[in-house]
Amino acid sequence: MTHLQGKTVVITGASSGLGYEMARLAAKEGARLVLLARRLERLELLKETIESDCGVSDVLIYSVDVSNKNDVEKVFAEILSRCGQIDVLINNAGFGVFDYAHEARWEETEAMFQVNVLGLIACTQMVMPYMQARQSGHIINIASQAGKMATPKSSVYAATKHAVLGYTNSLRMELARDGVYVTAVNPGPIATDFFTTADPSGAYAKNVGRWMLQPEKVAKAIIQVIGTNKREINLPKWMNAGSIFYTLFPRVVERVGRKAFFKK
């Protein structure tokens, strides 16, 4: 018996990258998976792969845009009706666009907040009452090291991740009274197709390529802490140490690291 045996785990943004790897590992741990993303065809392929590789036959998939609150409410109502309960919610859906603040397009700014922040809150609000009533559950929000230390050309993206961390930290204290765990995940850059949208030029991915995390490693760290009262996951450790140093000595970090920060 594995630690997720029989648990219903909902993952948003599950069609590729980190979401894909978390889904695969959760299935191997015995979870009953519910996978959400906009791209239904990618979800169908993921469902086939997981059911074949992991010997399961009950992976549920839903096409949903988390920025649409009505769609979120409809889908989660159906999930709760079919599954009875949701034990774990992993809010993974999100995207970024790297632009200088004065060049940021309003439609992209609005879309990032709709998906990264409001979509995450909408999904969370759909599961909270049920977890509180059962006095158990785990909500995992994928934030970013950018939510701890902003850098040039990521002002809007960093702002959304700062918002995610603020929401998560408050939520953690509120739900602790009800026995519900809340974990923030703050990874550095991950080798996924995130950068296809964030930086079409490929410059940033090239500059930080040697430091990029592999999605399998991040996914493993997340799946391992499900069901434990883990406050945060910070990867890589050296980058998180930089974020802590920045909190203590912001002027020093901004002055010394200015040249490196502009490599986007």
Q: How many CB atoms lie within 10 A of CB 233?
A: 19
Say if residues 180 and 131 touch (Cβ distance below 8 Å).
yes
Nearest to 234 by CA among 151, 132, 161, 176: 161
Phi, psi of 179 (to 5 degrees): 75, 20
Which is catalytic among the residues 20, 62, 157, 167?
A: 157
Q: Is 167 a catalytic residue?
A: no
The residue whose two tokens read 């609000």 is 125
Cβ contact 52:133 at 8 Å: no
- C-alpha span between 224 and 241 (Å, rounded): 22
- The catalytic residues are 157
